[in-house]
Amino acid sequence: MKDFSELKAIFEAQGHPSFRANQLLHDVCQRGVADYKDMSNLPVTLRDYLNENLPILSIEEKQSSVAVDGSVRKVLFRCKKDGKKIEAVLMRFKDGRRTVCVSSQVGCAMGCSFCATGKMGFKRNLTYEEISDQVLYFASDIRSYGETISNVVFMGMGEPFNNYDNVMRAVRFLNDARGLNIGARNITLSTSGVVPGILKLMDDGLQVNLAISLHAPNQELRESMMPVAKKYGLDELMDAVTKYTNKTHRRVSYEYVMIAGVNDDLSLAHQLGNLIEGQLCHVNLIPYNLTDGNKFKRSLNRKMDDFVKILETYRVPTTIRVSLGQDIDAACGQLAGGKV
Ligand code: SAH
Ligand code: SF4
C-alpha cells in the first residue's frame, strides 16, 4: 500500500481530509483489514474511489510453499503492474522472532558466482510499495494466529543499495508508528559492498542494521567470487565501514558464505581476523546453500567450527547462521523468482 505522504496527497486531491490517510494505514497495518468495504469509518464515496483506483497491495500471491517443519514459508508474488515475479520468505524462529526476508529488485545485476538470483540478471527495481507489501502480506497472514512481524531483512533478490531510494522509503514505511511500527533496529540491509550506499546510509540517521557480504578477506579472491569487488575494492570497502562505524557507533555484520575449497582454507580465517580485528563488527558464517546448476559444495561443519575458533583468537565475535528453508529452496541465495 501507499505510504502516508502519498495517501495524504491522493485524499486531498479527492477533497478528503488528510486524517483519512491515518485511518487507512491503521485499518490495514494494525487491524489487518483487507477490503475497503470493511472500513466503515471511511465515507462511502471514498471507499468506492479507493476500490476502483487504489488496490491495497501492489503484489499478489501466485504460489506458496512451506518447509516440512513449518518454520519457513516462501511465497512467489506477481507484481500487479507488469506481471514480474519476486519471492519473499517468512522465517518463524524458535526464539519467537518472525522475520520476513524481502526482495528489493527483480533479479540482480551483481552476478555473484554462487548466487541463484545473480544468474537471472537484472530486470528492474521494485517500487517502495512492492517492497513493503511483501511484509504487509505476511503480517496479515500471521495475524490470524495472533503473531506479528518482528524483523525484516533485505536478503532476498537484489542489491538494496542499487535501489537506494525505494528501499529507504520502504524502510520508513515499515518503521512508521501509524503503520506496521517495526523498529529500525529490527531491520537489516545487506549489501554486496556498494560503497556509495554505505556512505549514504551513514548520513541517513536511521538506526537500521548493516550487513556486508564480504565472503573473502583479500581482493583477489573477492574479485573472483563477486564482480562488484572490481568496482569497489576491498580497501575502499573497509574504509567505508570504518567511516560508518565511527559515525554511527553501530556494529556491522560481515556475511561470509562458506564454500568448500573456495574460501574456507584456514589461512583465510587468519587473513579475515587480521583484516577486521578491532572493528565494531560481528561475523556470520553462512553454510553455502545449493543452487541450480551450481558447481560448489558447502564447507564441512568441522571447517566452520575451526573458522569460528580462529576468528575468536582475533576477538571477532562469530556465529554460524542457522539455515532454514533449504528443502523448499528458500534459504540465502536460492531465490530465483520462479520455481516454488
Ligand atoms: N544482494 C545482497 C542481499 C541479498 S543476498 C547481498 O548480496 O548482500 C543475501 C545473502 O545471501 C548475501 O550475504 C549473499 O552473499 C548470500 N548468498 C548468496 N548466495 C548464497 C548461497 N548459495 N548460499 C548461501 N548464501 C548465499
Ligand atoms: Fe545479487 Fe546479493 Fe546474489 Fe550477489 S549475492 S548476485 S549481490 S543478490
Q: Where are the domains of the chain?
A: 4-53, 91-325
What pLDDT is stored for residue 68 in this prediction? 83
In the predicted structure, residue 281 carries a pLDDT above the cut 50:
yes
Low-confidence winner among 58-72, 223-237, 319-333 (lowest mean pLDDT)? 319-333
What pLDDT is stored for residue 258 in this prediction? 97
197 lines ligand 2 (CB under 6 A): no
Residue 248 grid coordinates: 554511527
Closest ligand 2 atom, residue 158 Cα = 8
Q: Which residues line the pocket of ligand 1, CB cutoff 6 A?
A: 108, 114-115, 155, 159, 190-192, 213, 255, 257, 286, 288-289, 291, 332-333
What pLDDT is stored for residue 339 in this prediction? 44
In the predicted structure, residue 134 carries a pLDDT above the cut 50:
yes
Taking alpha carbons only, the member of 121, 114, 85, 87 closest to residue 103 is 87
- DSSP annotation string for 34-51: --GGG-TTS-HHHHHHHH
Active site residues: 87, 332
Which residue's CA is minimally distant from atom 18 of ligand 1?
Answer: 333
Cα distance between residue 276 and residue 273, in whole Å: 6
Which residue's CA is minimally distant from atom 19 of ligand 1?
Answer: 333
Closest ligand 1 atom, residue 213 Cα = 13
Closest ligand 2 atom, residue 226 Cα = 4
Residue 61 contacts residue 318 (beta carbons within 8 Å): no
Closest ligand 1 atom, residue 191 Cα = 8
Which residue's CA is minimally distant from atom 4 of ligand 2?
Answer: 112
In the predicted structure, residue 153 carries a pLDDT above the cut 80:
yes
Q: What architecture (CATH level 2) is domain 4-53?
A: Orthogonal Bundle (1.10)
How many whole angstroms from 23 Cα to the centroid of ligand 1?
38
In the predicted structure, residue 292 carries a pLDDT above the cut 90:
no
> Distance from CA of residue 88 to its chain's centroid?
9
pLDDT in tens, 136-148: 999 999 998 899 9
Taking alpha carbons only, the member of 106, 99, 103, 97 closest to residue 73 is 99
How many whole angstroms from 267 Cα to the centroid of ligand 1?
23
Cα distance between residue 63 and residue 77, in whole Å: 7
Residues in the chain: 340
In the predicted structure, residue 180 carries a pLDDT above the cut 50:
yes
What pLDDT is stored for residue 98 in this prediction? 96
Taking the CA of 288 as reference, the closest ligand is 1
Q: What is the CATH number of domain 91-325?
A: 3.20.20.70
Give the residue with greater pLDDT, 330 vs 319: 319
> Distance from CA of residue 256 to its chain's centroid?
16
Percent composition of the chain: helix, strand, coil (DSSP 3-state, to 5)? 40, 20, 40
Q: What is the pTM of this model?
A: 0.96
Confidence class for position 340, pLDDT limits 50, 70, 90: very low
How many whole angstroms from 314 Cα to the centroid of ligand 1?
25
Taking the CA of 109 as reference, the closest ligand is 2
Please report the sign of the dihedral spanned by the C-alpha atoms of residue 81, residue 139, residue 186, residue 214.
Answer: negative
CA neighbours within 13 Å on the CB side: how many for 17?
Answer: 5
How many whole angstroms from 36 Cα to the centroid of ligand 2?
38
In the predicted structure, residue 309 carries a pLDDT above the cut 90:
yes
Taking alpha carbons only, the member of 97, 204, 182 closest to residue 134 is 182
Calculate mean pLDDT across residues 130-139: 97
**At 123, phi and psi to the nearest 5?**
-105, -60
In testing the pocket of ligand 2, which one of 192, 195, 294, 296 has its CB within 8 Å of the most ligand atoms?
A: 192
pLDDT in tens, 75-122: 999 999 999 999 999 999 989 999 999 999 999 999 999 998 888 899
Cα distance between residue 57 and residue 110, in whole Å: 28
How many whole angstroms from 153 Cα to the centroid of ligand 1?
12
115 lines ligand 2 (CB under 6 A): yes
How many whole angstroms from 320 Cα to the centroid of ligand 1?
14
- Report the share of the chain in percent with pLDDT over 90: 84
As separate numbers, helices (DSSP H) first and strands (DSSP E) second, the chain gives 12, 12
Residue 50 grid coordinates: 479507493
